[in-house]
Each structure stands twice: as C-alpha cells, then as structure tokens.
C-alpha cells in the first residue's frame, strides 16, 4: 500500500515531494500515518531566499493592522470549523488521548484571535524628549523568522508562535518536529483560505539534525523561536550568535508541585494526578516532583498510589482512555532507565515502572519515593515517571523546589492565603500556579528562567518580541547654528 505523502507548504502551495522523505508513525499502534519531506539544505536555502523576497516586496509586511486582524480572525474561525479533523490528526501522530486533545484544541483559536486583536489595538508612543522635539516610537516587523516547534503539542505551540509572528507582520518559516509534523503541514491551506498572502507562511519538514540545523544556520533570519531541548538550543545558539540573530527558547522543566497540609488530601491527589500525567508526562511543565508536607504525606501517598494504579491506559481514540502512548521507543527506554536508576539510588517504587502492552509505545504511570538529590528528582524524564518527596517544612519545600537547574513552571497548593503569596514569591519559576496547574491563556506570558529558557510566548511580550522599535526624531525648533561659520574657518 502506498503511504500518503504530505509535502512542504511553500509560497501558497504544497511543493513537489522532495527526493528524500521520512515516515511519521502512530505511537499507539506503530502504524505508518504518512511520509513527509526530509528537506535538503539547498531547498531550505531556496525557501529562505523566497521568504526574504516576500518580506522585502510582499503584501503582508505592509498590510495595515485591520488587514492582519481580518486574516487571523478568519483563520481562527476556519480552525474551529475544522476542529474534528485536527483533533484526529493530533491523536494519531502524538498518541495522546482524544479527551485531552479535544480540550486543548478547542481553545487554540483563541490564540489567533488574541494576537489579531493585539495587532489591531497596539499603539506606538511619543516620548518626553527634551526641547522643541517630537520623538515617535513605532514597531515594525523583524523580517523572516524561523519557528522550531515540538511534537508534544504540535498545534498549540505552533499557533502561539505563528499568531504572534504573523500579527506583527513577519514572514514565517515553521519547522515542526519530524515526529509529529502532519497537522502543521495541513495548516498552510487554512491560512491561505483565510486570506494570508502566499509566501507569508512557509512550512517545511525534516529531521531536526538536518533541516532544522540548515534553517537555523542562515544569516538571513531575523529571529529564531525554539521550543525543544537544551541540547538543541546549544547546537543552534553559536551560529545564531555569530549572525546576531536573537533566540527565544522554551526548553525544559522539572516542575515542583508543592502541597501543604491545609489542602484536603482528596483534592491534593486530584491535583497531583492532573499535574503529573497529562500527556503521559510529556510536557515541559509536567508536575514531575511532588513535594508533600510530612503532615499529610502518608495519607496522600496511599491514596495517590491507589488512584494512579486505576488510571486507564490504552487506545488514545477511546474517550475513556486517560493515559495514552509516549512518543516512540526511545521514550519508553528513557522512562525505564530513569526508573531503574531511581531504584538503584535507593528510591522506593510505589507503582508502575514497566512498559505496558505488546503493541505501541506505552509506559505505566510510575511513582517513586526518592530524595531531593537523586537523578530522578533533578532531571527531566519527559514521561510518566514521577518523583515523590517528603518535606518537613515550608522552607524545605521552597528549597527543594528551587534546587534544580530548571525554572519553567511550579504549582503551590494551599488554603492559607498568606502562605500562597509567600511561597509563590519565593519560588524561582517563570510560571507559578496557585491551586492550579497547566492553566494557559494567550494573554499570559509563558517562559522560564535558568536553563528552562529565555524570552516569552503569549501576551504582549511575545508580540513585541517579533517587532523592532524605530525612533523618529522631529525637530521643530531652532535649527543648529554651531557651524554657520564653517566657510571662514581656518585649518592648520
């Protein structure tokens, strides 16, 4: 049987298939979904050249705010009408349960609408310049921007970046992960139908080590926006620095879930399950460290273990499934390796710890009691393997929460109002939730500190990062007179 092929989206059409291709696999049953282009350096360079021409001569960078608003708002409307199609694609290529993907994708049009509205109302300014001078500051698009997006939230993360970049008037090149590129490749015609001028959004597929590298090495980019791993950032950062290209990077996390004794144990357990096992633990803000106060620790652990064992693992297309697949065989092996090392370091395996089933890439939801300095407690698994730590005090919870190189997200669970403020203020993370986890909104800046990255997605911060500020100074006072006598000056 011939495998469906989905080629790059370039200048408003699906380009002819490349000579080299790669296949995309359904992680739940290991079946082939489609093949996509493994884009070569020569093709990448050609697409960048076309994109640069489109920025210099095309309509989108010169479109006024109302035009950008209309196109992005129409794209949001079209996405809503095609939601079942994209939910099905996301489930097949990521292995995530359909109940999760329906909930996540239902909100994604809001990102396009938010940035459409921001483009419409964002204003320049006039500074208090000294003297008879008017100084205007206006924001202009950067140029050609490269967006490197991940496999765990293909559409969500892409729309965060695409919405902000297009709203600001840039020409956008998206390189989705080779593990889950299909839904993004199918976004091209949606934006085309919404009225986006051809060539304003280019979508190219391929391996990160090749196509992604070729793209990020170009000196013609105005910005790189990466969601991925620290090693990927370290691979592209030297070249970007050499070419003076700024990078926004959302990298990794080791989010602590800080649970205090004022929280009812039943609620605390529900909070931990949600924080830890959404997307089978494959998010950058997975609640992968449960820091539980000793006063409720034993009761909490007993109930959490029982509830974790009861989670329904299986077919992601079944609405009753709670835990889907991890992305590939390497992810299964990584989860198993983290589990084995944690136990070897003295950790207590409470449940899980093994591959699930004989077909597909499933790993059991796993809980391990461990200590703050263990490998499991300090490093990102990106899977459903969770560290449980008993803490004797608020100070210890804060110290352990801040004790890794990551600082993306954290949550604080307490019914003590003053404690909530006090602890949230002390925790080092770009996103701190109080009595919540995973909450996201297009208006809320998203990004981490330390090795979790730099820069922000979402909000005004993201929109403005895709612009450059131009200062124009108008002197309406007395013209300069210092060199009026220059014709009479004598030079030695």
pLDDT digits (tens, 9 = 90+) for 390-447: 999 999 999 999 999 999 999 999 999 999 999 999 999 999 999 999 999 999 999 9
- What does the CA dihedral 341, 409, 272, 395 come to, rounded to 10 degrees? 80
Q: What percent of the chain has pLDDT over 70?
A: 98
Catalytic site includes residue 250: yes
Residue 475 clears pLDDT 90, i.e. is over it: yes
Rounded-to-integer distance, Cα 194 and Cα 70, Å:
8
Query: Angle, to 10 degrees, between the axis of helix 83-94 and the axis of helix 98-105?
Result: 130
Q: In the chain, what's the furthest Cα-to-Cα distance?
A: 95
Rounded-to-integer distance, Cα 336 and Cα 330, Å:
10
| Matching fold, domains 5-251+452-472 and 255-434 | no
> What pLDDT is attached to residue 478?
80
The pLDDT tens digits of the residues spanning 224-255 come to 999 999 999 999 999 999 999 999 999 999 99
Residue 477 clears pLDDT 60, i.e. is over it: yes
Distances (CA, A) of 110 to 74, 79, 167, 280: 12, 10, 14, 25
Query: End-to-end alpha-carbon separation of the chain, Å?
Result: 88
Rounded-to-integer distance, Cα 489 and Cα 482, Å:
12
pLDDT band for position 2 (cuts 50, 70, 90)? low
Give CATH superfamily name and number for 5-251+452-472: Aldehyde Dehydrogenase; Chain A, domain 1 (3.40.605.10)
Rounded-to-integer distance, Cα 173 and Cα 203, Å:
6
Each domain of the chain, given as residue ranges in start order, spans 5-251+452-472, 255-434
Sheet holding 133-141, edge to edge: 125-127, 133-141, 467-475
Could you say which of 90, 217, 250, 457 is catalytic?
Answer: 250
The pLDDT tens digits of the residues spanning 352-384 come to 999 999 999 999 999 999 999 999 999 999 999
Where would I find the beta strands (DSSP E) of 120-244?
125-127, 133-141, 144-148, 171-175, 201-203, 223-227
Distances (CA, A) of 205 to 8, 53, 145, 169, 187: 6, 21, 16, 23, 13
Determine whether domain 255-434 maps to CATH 2.40.40.20: no
Q: Spell out the residues 6+ positions from residue 1 whose beta carbon is closer than 8 angstroms to its own.
A: none
Q: Spell out the residues 6+ positions from residue 442 whose beta carbon is closer than 8 angstroms to its own.
A: 110, 111, 113, 114, 115, 160, 163, 458, 459
């Amino acid at each position: 049987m011939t495998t469906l092929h989905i080629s790059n989206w370039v200048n408003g059409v699906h380009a002819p298939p490349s000579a080299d291709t790669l296949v995309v696999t359904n992680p739940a049953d290991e079946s082939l979904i489609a093949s996509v282009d493994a884009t070569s350096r020569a093709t990448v360079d050609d697409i960048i050249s076309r994109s640069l021409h489109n920025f210099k001569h095309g309509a989108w960078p010169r479109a006024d705010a109302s035009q950008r608003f209309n196109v992005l708002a129409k794209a949001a409307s079209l996405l809503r009408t095609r939601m079942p199609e994209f939910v099905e694609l996301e489930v097949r290529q990521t292995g995530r349960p359909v109940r999760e993907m329906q909930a996540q994708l239902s909100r994604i049009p809001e990102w396009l609408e938010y940035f459409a509205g921001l483009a419409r109302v964002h204003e320049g300014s006039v500074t208090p310049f000294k003297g008879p001078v008017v100084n205007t500051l206006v924001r202009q698009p950067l140029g050609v921007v490269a967006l490197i997006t991940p496999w765990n939230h293909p559409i969500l993360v892409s729309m965060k970046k695409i919405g902000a970049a297009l709203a600001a008037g840039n020409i956008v090149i998206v390189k989705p992960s080779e593990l889950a590129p299909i839904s993004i490749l199918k976004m091209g015609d949606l934006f085309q139908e919404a009225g986006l001028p051809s060539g304003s959004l280019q979508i190219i597929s391929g391996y990160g080590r090749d196509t992604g590298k070729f793209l990020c090495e170009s000196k013609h980019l105005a910005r790189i926006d990466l969601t991925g791993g620290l090693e990927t950032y370290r691979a592209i950062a030297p070249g970007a620095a050499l070419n003076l290209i700024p990078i926004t990077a959302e990298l990794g996390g080791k989010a602590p879930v800080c649970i205090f004794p004022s929280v009812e144990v039943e609620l605390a357990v529900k909070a931990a399950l949600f924080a830890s096992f959404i997307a089978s633990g494959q998010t950058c803000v997975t609640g992968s460290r449960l820091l539980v106060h000793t006063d409720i620790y034993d009761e909490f652990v007993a109930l959490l273990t029982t509830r974790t064992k009861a989670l329904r693992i299986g077919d992601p297309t079944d609405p009753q499934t709670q835990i889907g697949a991890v992305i590939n065989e390497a992810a299964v092996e990584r989860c198993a390796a983290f589990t084995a090392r944690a136990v070897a370091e003295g950790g207590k395996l409470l449940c899980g710890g093994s591959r699930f089933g004989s077909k597909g890439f499933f790993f059991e939801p796993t809980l391990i009691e461990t200590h703050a300095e263990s490998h499991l407690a300090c490093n990102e698994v990106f899977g459903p393997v969770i560290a449980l730590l008993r803490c004797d005090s608020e100070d210890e919870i804060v110290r352990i929460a801040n004790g890794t190189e990551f600082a993306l997200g954290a949550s604080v669970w307490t019914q003590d109002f003053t404690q909530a403020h006090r602890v949230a203020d002390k925790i080092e993370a770009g996103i701190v939730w109080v009595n919540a986890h995973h909450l996201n909104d297009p208006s809320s800046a998203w990004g981490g500190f330390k090795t979790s990255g730099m820069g922000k997605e979402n909000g005004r911060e993201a929109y403005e990062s895709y612009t450059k500020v131009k200062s124009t100074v108008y002197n309406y006072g007395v013209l300069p007179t210092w060199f009026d006598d220059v014709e009479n000056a004598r030079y030695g």
